[in-house]
C-alpha cells in the first residue's frame, strides 16, 4: 500500500490484536476497511500485540512470556511514533497499549495534536474479568476516561457506554457492532427440520454465562430430543446428554452457526454486562434464527420479545421459550425472518458504513513546515 502523504486524508489504526483475530476489532471496524480506498482514503493498522504475544498473554502461566509480549508491544508503539505524522486521524480501539498508563494516547493528542477517534464496545473501565486478575492491575483501567477526554470523537456500541463516555467528552456517537449480511452472514437458516438444535457462541471470557442456562438445558433434554452446540475457543465440557463442541474458526464461523436453529445469549445482570453490545444475538438473528436472551443492557433493544426472539429472566422462562421454539418450526421461521430483517435494517455493514466514514472529515490539518520536514526525515530512518 502506498504511503500516504502529509496532506492526504488518512487513518492510522491503533488496535490490541492482529487483524482477523479479535471479534471486537473484526466487527467494529475491520469490515469497513475494504471500502477505504474506494472512498479515496488511506489507512494503516498497527496492532500492539503479535499473534504469538496475544496467545501467550491470554493463557495461564508463563509470566516471562507475558512480560515479553507487553515489552514487544511497547517497542512497536515507539516505532509507530515515527510514522504518525503521515496520518490525520488516529483510530484507537480500546487503547493504544494493552497494559500501562495512556502515555501514547497523550503524545498523540497533545504532542502530535492528531484527531483521535476512540472506540470501545465493552465496559472496559470496570474490573470484572475472572481471568488474569493479577494482570488487570497493570492495565490502568482508569485511563479509559482520560482517553475519552483527549479524543476528537468517541464511538461506542450502546447507550450504557455512551452515558459513560459523555461524562468526559460531548462528542460521543453510538455505532452498533454489526455484521456483513451480504457476505459473511448472508445465509439464512432453514427451519424445516425434524430435530432442531440449540446453540451458543462465545469465547473463554464468556463461558461463565453458560452456568445460567445449564439447568434449563438439562431439564429440557429429559423430555425433548435436541443437541446443544457450543462454538468457542475453549470447550466448557457441559454435562448434557447431547452436546457438541466446535472449535471457533474465523473461516467457518458463519457456516458453524447454521448448525443450530435457536441461539442463546444469557448474561448476568451487572454493570459489566450492561456494557455488552449484544453481538451474539446480532449474529443469530442475521442468520434468520430467533435469539433467546437475558434482558440485560442493549439485548432488550435488539430482541423484541415475541417478535424476533424472547427475553428470559428465570430458569422457567428459559425452559418455556426454548421448548416453545423447539416444538414449533413455523414460529422459528416467523421470528427468524423478522430477526433477519431487523439486522439488515439496523445492525449491518450496509446500514452503518456511512455513519462510520462520517467520522472522518475531508479537510486535513496541516503540520508546520518544520515539523513535517523533521518527522519525514525521522520516518525514513532505518530504526523502524
Return the bridge partners of 179, or none: 348
The candidate with the shortest Cα–Cα distance to 198, out of 285, 124, 130, 261, is: 261
Burial letters 208-217, b for 16+ CB under 10 A, else e = ebbebbbebb
Question: What's the N-to-C CA distance of the chain in angstroms?
Answer: 17
User: Which SS3 state, helix, strand or coil, does residue 54 take?
Assistant: helix
Sheet holding 228-232, edge to edge: 243-247, 228-232, 198-201, 262-265, 291-293, 309-311
Residue 306 zone, left/alpha/beta (φ > 0; ψ -120 to 50; rest): left
Residue 139 grid cell: 492495565
Supply the pTM of this predicted model: 0.87
Residue 329 burial by Cβ neighbours in a 10 Å radius (0-12, 13-18, 19+): middle
What is the rounded CA–CA span in Å between residue 349 and residue 336?
19
**Which of 11, 125, 10, 138 has the alpha carbon at shortest distance from 73?**
138
Question: Is the CB of residue 303 less than 8 Å from the CB of residue 343?
Answer: no
Q: Tell me yes or no: is domain 198-346 CATH 3.40.50.2000.
A: yes
Rounded Cα distance between 372 and 374, Å, is 6
Q: How far apart are the C-alpha atoms of 253 and 287, rounded to whole Å?
A: 12
φ/ψ of residue 73, rounded to 5: -65, -40
pLDDT of residue 136: 60
SS3 state of residue 366: coil
Burial of 334 (0-12, 13-18, 19+ CB in 10 A): middle
Would you state the pLDDT for residue 134?
A: 58
Instruction: Give the CA-trace dihedral at 73, 75, 77, 78, to 10 degrees.
Output: 170
* DSSP letter (8 states) at residue 87: -
pLDDT at site 27: 94
User: Count of H helices and E strands in the chain?
Assistant: 16, 12
CATH of 10-178+349-379 among 3.30.420.140, 3.90.209.20, 3.40.50.300, 3.40.50.2000: 3.40.50.2000
Q: For residue 5, what pLDDT is reported?
A: 44
For the chain, the domains span 10-178+349-379, 198-346
Q: Is the separation of the CB atoms in 156 and 172 below 8 Å?
A: yes
Q: Which residues pair with 293 in a beta bridge?
A: 265, 311
Is residue 210 a contact partner of residue 200, using CB atoms and an 8 Å limit?
A: yes
Measured between alpha carbons, how far is 315 from 216 in angstroms, rounded to an integer?
Answer: 6
Specify the 3-state DSSP secondary structure of 382: coil
Distance CA(365)–CA(102), nearest Å, equals 24
**Separation of alpha carbons 256 and 242, rounded Å:** 17
Same fold, 10-178+349-379 and 198-346: yes
Which helix (H) or strand (E) segment holds residue 134: the answer is: helix 133-136
Grid coordinates in use for 151? 479524543
21's grid cell: 483475530
pLDDT along the chain (384 residues), means of 10: 55 96 92 92 95 82 86 96 96 94 96 97 80 62 95 97 97 96 92 95 92 98 97 95 95 93 97 93 97 96 97 97 97 98 96 94 45 38 36
Q: What is the per-residue pLDDT for 21?
A: 87
pLDDT score, position 132: 54
What cell was used for 147?
482517553
Sign of dihedral through CA atoms 80, 81, 83, 85? positive
Amino acid at each position: 500500500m502506498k504511503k500516504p502523504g502529509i496532506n492526504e486524508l488518512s487513518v492510522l489504526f491503533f488496535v490490541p490484536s492482529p487483524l482477523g483475530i479479535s471479534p471486537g476489532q473484526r466487527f467494529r471496524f475491520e469490515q469497513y476497511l475494504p471500502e477505504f480506498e474506494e472512498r479515496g482514503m488511506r489507512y494503516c493498522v498497527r496492532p500492539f500485540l503479535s499473534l504469538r504475544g496475544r496467545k501467550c498473554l491470554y493463557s495461564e502461566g508463563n509470566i516471562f512470556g507475558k512480560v515479553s509480549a507487553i515489552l514487544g508491544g511497547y517497542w512497536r508503539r515507539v516505532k509507530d511514533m515515527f510514522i504518525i505524522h503521515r496520518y490525520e486521524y488516529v483510530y484507537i480501539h480500546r487503547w493504544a497499549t494493552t497494559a500501562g498508563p495512556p502515555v501514547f494516547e497523550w503524545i498523540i493528542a497533545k504532542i502530535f495534536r492528531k484527531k483521535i477517534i476512540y472506540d470501545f464496545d465493552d465496559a472496559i473501565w470496570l474490573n470484572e474479568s475472572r481471568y488474569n486478575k493479577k494482570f488487570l492491575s497493570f492495565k490502568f483501567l482508569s485511563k479509559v476516561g482520560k482517553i475519552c477526554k483527549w479524543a476528537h470523537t468517541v464511538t461506542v456500541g450502546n447507550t450504557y457506554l455512551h452515558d459513560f463516555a459523555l461524562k468526559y467528552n460531548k462528542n460521543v456517537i453510538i455505532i452498533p457492532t454489526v455484521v456483513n449480511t451480504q457476505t459473511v452472514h448472508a445465509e439464512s437458516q432453514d427451519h424445516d427440520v425434524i430435530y432442531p438444535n440449540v446453540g451458543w457462541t462465545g469465547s473463554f471470557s464468556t463461558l461463565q454465562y453458560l452456568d445460567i442456562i445449564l439447568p434449563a438445558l438439562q431439564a429440557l433434554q429429559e423430555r425433548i430430543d435436541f443437541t446443544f452446540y457450543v462454538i468457542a475457543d475453549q470447550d466448557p465440557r457441559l454435562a448434557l446428554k447431547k452436546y457438541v463442541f466446535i472449535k471457533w474458526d474465523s473461516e467457518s464461523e458463519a457456516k458453524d452457526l447454521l448448525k443450530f436453529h435457536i441461539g442463546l445469549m444469557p448474561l448476568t445482570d451487572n454493570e459489566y454486562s450492561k456494557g455488552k453490545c449484544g453481538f451474539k444475538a446480532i449474529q443469530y438473528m442475521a442468520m434468520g434464527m430467533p435469539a433467546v436472551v437475558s434482558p440485560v443492557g442493549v439485548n432488550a433493544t435488539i430482541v423484541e420479545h415475541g417478535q424476533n426472539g424472547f427475553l428470559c429472566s428465570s430458569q422457567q422462562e428459559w425452559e418455556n421459550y426454548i421448548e416453545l421454539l423447539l416444538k414449533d418450526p413455523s414460529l422459528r421461521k416467523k421470528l427468524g425472518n423478522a430477526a433477519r430483517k431487523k439486522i439488515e435494517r439496523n445492525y449491518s455493514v450496509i446500514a452503518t458504513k456511512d455513519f462510520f466514514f462520517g467520522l472522518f472529515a475531508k479537510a486535513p490539518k496541516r503540520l508546520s513546515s518544520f515539523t513535517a520536514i523533521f518527522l519525514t526525515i525521522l520516518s525514513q530512518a532505518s530504526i523502524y
